[in-house]
Amino acid sequence: FRAECLLQFCDFNAAISNYEFALSLTDKDIAEEWKRRLGFIHLLYSQCMYDEHKYNEALSEVELALKSEPNNFSYQCRRLNYLLALKRHKECFAQVQCIFDSNEPTAEMYILRA
């Protein structure tokens, strides 16, 4: 795949474009798997943006990742982390509640809520 090669060169924008194009051509059987993969690429890209202190861009990318898997606990926690970096505390409280509403409660979640 061309998109996989672009990922190895960390060209996330081009890889995302190639995946989106390929996704538009695939049948429904494998489309869900490719959507999850595309979400993961958005997550990787968001981490790169975060490492470069581009918190707004990181937040935008992780929100795109959440569109592919809205109940993914890791993606939701990453979004919370980016909101904290942006000092958007009211949204952080809402995100914690969203995490509780969309996942089975665990010990980690209660610690997060505290």
Q: What is the pLDDT of residues 53-73, one digit of tens each?
A: 999 999 999 999 999 898 898
pLDDT of residue 64: 93
Mean pLDDT of successive 10-residue stretches along the chain, which has 114 residues = 75 80 79 84 93 96 92 91 94 89 80 74
**Length of the chain as a residue count:** 114
pLDDT of residue 86: 95
pLDDT of residue 76: 92
Are 79 and 55 within 8 A, CB to CB? no
Phi and psi at 26, nearest 5°, equal -85, 160
Whole-prediction pTM value? 0.81
